[in-house]
């Protein structure tokens, strides 16, 4: 077997196991497996892996750094059906112009300045970007990981919904460290409900990674973002 076919077999097996895990979590929660979309988080892995995943039926791919995502998305252009690219990392305003060119969904919208930059750049590019409000679920001070305070989410959601070139998709969060994930994901579900009360179309809840996707699905996640369980451990980043 060639290295490429070894990798294809490895990804295929990982995906089979992951789909089974997602299906079991859905069943335990009394939810339909079709209600949860798997986003393959491909950061640090090459475009060749993204193409193999597309061959295996993956439709949604996520990245967290523009410098890595932009060339990878370009290297995967022309796939049929086209992949949906999700930007899940903290985003600087000066990267908005690049990100709106390839991203269909930005999960990390957490401040008004970023809403304005994404709106302007999306309109300039003639694109419509689905935005999720990233919610900071950590009750303590959490300067590192981004996210709006829960009390600020409704106003930010209104700003996204009012912006031409942007569509409000829903909410996103990363579980805080040092606390079991499930109560945190329950707080996210409550924030999602507040948003939906004003914006009924904003149905997305992006929550759950390799370590906690079962708890996220139990608390209503519609999109899980999985890297390690699908692609393996990430090496120290080289670029």
Ligand X SMILES: *Cc1c(COP(=O)(O)O)cnc(C)c1O
Q: Which of residues 110-169 bind ligand X (CB under 6 A)?
A: none
The closest of 47, 60, 64 to 7, measured between CA atoms, is: 47
**Shortest distance (Å) from residue 165 CB to ligand X:** 23
Q: Which of residues 218-237 bind ligand X (CB under 6 A)?
A: 225-229
In this chain, which residue has its C-beta nearest to ligand X? 227
Cis, peptide link before residue 81, omega less than 30° from 0: yes
**Shortest distance (Å) from residue 48 CB to ligand X:** 19
206 in Cβ contact with 223 (< 8 Å): yes
Total residues contacting ligand X by CB under 6 A comes to 14
As beta bridge partners, residue 49 has none
**Shortest distance (Å) from residue 211 CB to ligand X:** 6
Please pick, from the candidates 69, 88, 163, 205, the single residue that binds ligand X as defined by CB under 6 A. 88
Instruction: Give the integer Cα–Cα distance in Å for 78 and 146.
Output: 33
E strands, the chain, in order: 37-41, 60-63, 84-87, 105-109, 129-134, 166-172, 204-206, 223-226
CA 4 to chain centre: 27
| CB closer to ligand X, 38 vs 195 | 38
Stretch 167-206: interaction string toward ligand X, x if CB under 6 A: -------x--------------------------------
**Shortest distance (Å) from residue 228 CB to ligand X:** 3
Stretch 27-46: interaction string toward ligand X, x if CB under 6 A: --------------x-x---
**Shortest distance (Å) from residue 233 CB to ligand X:** 8
Q: Which of residues 202-221 bind ligand X (CB under 6 A)?
A: 209-211
Tokens of 52: 């193999």
Please pick, from the candidates 14, 42, 64, 130, the single residue that binds ligand X as defined by CB under 6 A. 64
Exposure string of 193-205, with b = 16+ CB inside 10 Å and e = fewer, is eebbeebeebebb
By the rule CB under 6 A, 70 interacts with ligand X:
no
| CB closer to ligand X, 5 vs 67 | 67
Instruction: Give the integer Cα–Cα distance in Å for 221 and 212.
Output: 11
**Shortest distance (Å) from residue 148 CB to ligand X:** 15
**Shortest distance (Å) from residue 171 CB to ligand X:** 13
Tell me the C-alpha to C-alpha distance, in Å, between residue 23 and each of 27, 30, 40, 218.
6, 10, 16, 12
Instruction: Give the integer Cα–Cα distance in Å for 44 and 47.
Output: 10
Q: How many CA atoms lie within 13 A of 150 on its CB side?
A: 16
Residues near ligand X (CB under 6 A): 41, 43, 64, 88-89, 174, 209-211, 225-229
């Amino acid at each position: 077997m060639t290295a490429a076919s070894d990798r294809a077999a490895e990804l295929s097996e990982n995906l089979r196991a992951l789909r089974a895990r997602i299906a079991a979590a859905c069943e335990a929660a009394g939810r339909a497996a079709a209600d949860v979309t798997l986003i393959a988080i491909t950061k640090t892995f090459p475009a060749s892996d993204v193409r193999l995943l597309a061959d295996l039926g993956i439709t949604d791919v996520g990245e967290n750094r523009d410098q890595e995502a932009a060339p990878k998305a370009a290297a995967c252009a022309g796939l049929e059906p086209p992949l949906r690219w999700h930007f899940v990392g903290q985003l600087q305003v000066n990267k908005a112009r690049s990100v709106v060119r390839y991203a269909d969904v930005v999960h990390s919208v957490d401040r008004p300045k970023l809403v304005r930059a994404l709106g302007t750049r999306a309109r300039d590019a003639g694109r419509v970007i689905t935005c999720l409000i990233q919610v900071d679920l950590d009750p303590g001070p959490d300067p590192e990981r981004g996210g709006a305070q829960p009390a600020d989410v409704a106003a930010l959601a209104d700003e996204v919904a009012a912006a031409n070139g942007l569509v409000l998709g829903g909410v996103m969060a990363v579980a805080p460290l040092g606390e079991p994930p499930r109560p945190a994901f329950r707080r996210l579900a409550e924030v999602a409900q507040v948003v939906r009360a004003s914006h009924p179309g904003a149905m997305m809840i992006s929550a759950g990674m390799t370590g906690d996707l079962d708890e996220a699905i139990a608390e209503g996640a519609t999109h899980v973002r999985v890297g390690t369980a699908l692609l393996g451990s990430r090496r120290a980043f080289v670029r």
